[in-house]
Chain A
């Protein structure tokens, strides 16, 4: 274990040195990017490799199959207990004597602020741009199935968390892997936990940090004009440092308040645009259903639409990745499964509501060009995506769709993207920290080391064009899912016992609402 720790630290140091020198010596950028890409390439290609003979990445299949298995194994728990989940969030079942502890609502809001972000704005535009309106249908299907994955992992996260004498808690997949496997007499739990923690740290520094900093810089540069990325990086790093090291909670609190507000405003704006085009709602849904099963001329046809939809849902709501299990384990509840119920609302809000809103706005404002002769979508010159009105894709496609109704909306959207990026960073700094302390132990100095590394990566992420590094970080996040889902298959029977016991007590009236 000690040797492993040293090896890991050495690898991380080398990784940092590579990235840092990429920033200091711009002439070497390409060479270093290339060297890094060569070194990590096999891992990245392995994670995103397609099933033989198809363009379908196996990791997306892995997540969707897992979500389907959990949905069937728990007999559609996400639909049977949907109403109960909402009652829990409303606090109907909260004991008034527990007032002052983390509420179900707070745990849900915290976990959501880690997942709602670029995926909902930029990612959906990419999916619709390539897979056509039909991708929306498959995205919703994947979101609904993903609810069962979240339910499973978050229940386990709370059940097997560590509670310390000083009253703080640590939980997440690494704890249910080691403690859960030991309880069932299965070998290898510790190894899985260490693997998961390593991927989680890399994912936190990459997708949860560098990618966010990079996108935030691009948004700001898009408004005020181009300027060096390290300036954005330093400002962001200083704010992140103040929050996670300096304990300056006020900034985090402001963000955590503004982010949900932005989220609600985004959905409201989308609703207003949809209502403005009320006469086309039927047509838009027609396009979504027709596209889901025929593709309406998109590259890859129906399968193309399906891949894009599934992929976007999996990438956006993180169901099966294990990150939400870390966030949810802070709740003090006598029934771990209640946290599972609450967490199943996340993919619903993130994917089924917010992602669908983005998709509908893009479709209904007719950003995608239809060939009037065939009724099919026209492909762009490269033939790999649907032609759009101004040739937009990604964030700019979403921005153009909203901008066609409200000319000022792109500015609000840019602010939202920056704030979403910041709150995602704060969430992932915590996920990474928990994995770090699992590997190296709790302690002020050890935690400080990780937090400082995290801040350095904010600067690197904003400053450099690190395509291969970002590919690698995304791959690390999905590598978390490989390890996590594997463990969930072994531990799901524990959740089934909890579910059976809880459902029985709920039916018998032993668990009942409190009078408030």
Chain B
């Protein structure tokens, strides 16, 4: 059976370190598939103008397209070039919840993420996405510094 590892990217350099760690891990495991995930922070409970609502579908496609071409596809290509089995996924939602949901859906056995950069007051009150992920994930989580 192939082991699956989810790599959560956030478009910063900590993501690259997470990639490097996950590839080291994959080499040790042997038969291993890497799933590169990028979550676009989004909540269904925000307030929008009617015009924003009318354009939402278009914006969503643009956001997915941008995240795929800038972040996920280059990462997947690099992994494939290095000889790994790899796939990419882009989703909207709460970062921690969605990364965990992707992991559960794909029956992956662990998640590797980079440590998120500090985010002021919001982080002090609600904690960072990384903290939330570590607290609530259904599988082991490795946070790469």
- Using known A-B contacts A100-B40, A106-B44, determine if residue A430 contacts B63 with beta carbons closer than 8 Å: no
**Given the complex, which residues of A lie within 8 Å of B52, measured CB to CB?**
249, 252
Using A110-B50, A169-B57 as known contacts, list a sample of 16 further A-B pairs with CB atoms less than 8 Å apart, ordered by residue number in A.
Answer: A100-B60, A100-B63, A100-B92, A100-B93, A101-B60, A102-B56, A104-B44, A105-B45, A110-B53, A168-B57, A244-B51, A253-B48, A257-B47, A259-B47, A330-B50, A330-B56
Q: Which residue in chain A gives the minimum CB-CB distance to B104?
A: A515
**Given the complex, which residues of A lie within 8 Å of B60, measured CB to CB?**
100-101
B55 at the interface (CB under 8 A from A): yes
How far is B50's CA from A243's CA once the two chains are assembled, in angstroms? 12
Q: How many residues of B contact A (CB 8 A)?
A: 27
| Interface residues in A397-448 (C-beta closer than 8 Å to B) | 426-427, 430-431
**Given the complex, which residues of B lie within 8 Å of A96, measured CB to CB?**
93, 101
B135 at the interface (CB under 8 A from A): no
**Given the complex, which residues of A lie within 8 Å of B53, measured CB to CB?**
102, 106-107, 110, 327, 330-331
How far is B38's CA from A372's CA once the two chains are assembled, in angstroms? 71
B124 at the interface (CB under 8 A from A): no
Q: Which of A110, A167, A243 is in CB contact (< 8 Å) with B47?
A: A110
How far in angstroms is the closest Cβ of chain B from A158? Answer: 12
**Given the complex, which residues of A lie within 8 Å of B145, measured CB to CB?**
none
How far is B92's CA from A223's CA once the two chains are assembled, in angstroms? 45
How far in angstroms is the closest Cβ of chain A from B99? Answer: 13
**Contact of B51 with A99 in the complex, beta carbons under 8 Å:** no
How far is B49's CA from A330's CA once the two chains are assembled, in angstroms? 11
* A-B contacts, 23 listed (Cβ < 8 Å): A96-B93, A99-B42, A99-B91, A99-B93, A100-B42, A100-B60, A101-B56, A102-B53, A103-B44, A106-B45, A107-B53, A166-B58, A167-B55, A167-B57, A167-B61, A249-B52, A252-B49, A252-B52, A253-B47, A260-B47, A326-B50, A327-B53, A332-B57
**Given the complex, which residues of B lie within 8 Å of A113, measured CB to CB?**
47
**Given the complex, which residues of A lie within 8 Å of B40, measured CB to CB?**
100
**Contact of A103 with B45 in the complex, beta carbons under 8 Å:** yes
**Given the complex, which residues of A lie within 8 Å of B92, measured CB to CB?**
99-100
How far is B97's CA from A168's CA once the two chains are assembled, in angstroms? 29
B98 at the interface (CB under 8 A from A): yes
| Interface residues in A205-251 (C-beta closer than 8 Å to B) | 243-244, 249
A61 at the interface (CB under 8 A from B): no
A contact residues vs B (CB 8 Å cutoff): 91, 94, 96, 99-107, 109-110, 113-114, 166-170, 243-244, 249, 252-253, 256-257, 259-260, 326-327, 330-332, 426-427, 430-431, 516
B contact residues vs A (CB 8 Å cutoff): 40, 42, 44-58, 60-61, 63-64, 91-93, 97-98, 101
How far is B45's CA from A253's CA once the two chains are assembled, in angstroms? 13
Q: Which residue in chain A gives the minimum CB-CB distance to B58?
A: A167
**Given the complex, which residues of B lie within 8 Å of A243, measured CB to CB?**
49
**Contact of A169 with B45 in the complex, beta carbons under 8 Å:** no
**Contact of A99 with B55 in the complex, beta carbons under 8 Å:** no
How far in angstroms is the closest Cβ of chain B from A409? Answer: 24
**Given the complex, which residues of B lie within 8 Å of A105, measured CB to CB?**
44-45
**Given the complex, which residues of A lie within 8 Å of B61, measured CB to CB?**
167
How far in angstroms is the closest Cβ of chain A from B64? Answer: 8
How far in angstroms is the closest Cβ of chain B from A514? Answer: 11
How far is B52's CA from A243's CA once the two chains are assembled, in angstroms? 11
**Contact of A99 with B58 in the complex, beta carbons under 8 Å:** no
**Contact of B47 with A109 in the complex, beta carbons under 8 Å:** yes
**Given the complex, which residues of A lie within 8 Å of B91, measured CB to CB?**
99-100
**Given the complex, which residues of B lie within 8 Å of A109, measured CB to CB?**
47-48
**Contact of A427 with B54 in the complex, beta carbons under 8 Å:** no
How far is B48's CA from A103's CA once the two chains are assembled, in angstroms? 10
Q: Which residue in chain A gives the minimum CB-CB distance to B43?
A: A103
How far is B52's CA from A331's CA once the two chains are assembled, in angstroms? 11
Q: Which residue in chain B gives the minimum CB-CB distance to A252?
A: B49
Q: Which residue in chain B gives the minimum CB-CB distance to A331?
A: B53
**Given the complex, which residues of A lie within 8 Å of B50, measured CB to CB?**
110, 114, 326-327, 330, 426-427, 430-431
List of 3 A-B pairs having minimum Cβ-Cβ separation, nearest first:
A100-B92, A103-B44, A167-B58
Q: Which residue in chain A gives the minimum CB-CB distance to B94?
A: A99
How far is B89's CA from A99's CA once the two chains are assembled, in angstroms? 13
**Contact of A168 with B58 in the complex, beta carbons under 8 Å:** yes
How far in angstroms is the closest Cβ of chain B from A433? Answer: 8
**Contact of B101 with A94 in the complex, beta carbons under 8 Å:** no
How far in angstroms is the closest Cβ of chain A from B124? Answer: 20
**Contact of A168 with B47 in the complex, beta carbons under 8 Å:** no
- Using known A-B contacts A99-B92, A249-B49, A430-B49, determine if residue A330 contacts B54 with beta carbons closer than 8 Å: yes
- Using known A-B contacts A96-B93, A101-B60, determine if residue A168 contacts B44 with beta carbons closer than 8 Å: no
Q: Which residue in chain B gives the minimum CB-CB distance to A166?
A: B58
Q: Which residue in chain A gives the minimum CB-CB distance to B49?
A: A252
Q: Which residue in chain B gives the minimum CB-CB distance to A423?
A: B49
Q: Which residue in chain A gives the minimum CB-CB distance to B53?
A: A330
**Contact of A99 with B63 in the complex, beta carbons under 8 Å:** no
How far in angstroms is the closest Cβ of chain A from B92? Answer: 3
**Given the complex, which residues of A lie within 8 Å of B48, measured CB to CB?**
102, 106, 109-110, 253, 256
How far is B54's CA from A161's CA once the two chains are assembled, in angstroms? 11
- Using known A-B contacts A99-B93, A167-B58, A168-B58, determine if residue A110 contacts B49 with beta carbons closer than 8 Å: yes
**Given the complex, which residues of A lie within 8 Å of B57, measured CB to CB?**
101-102, 167-169, 332
**Given the complex, which residues of A lie within 8 Å of B97, measured CB to CB?**
516
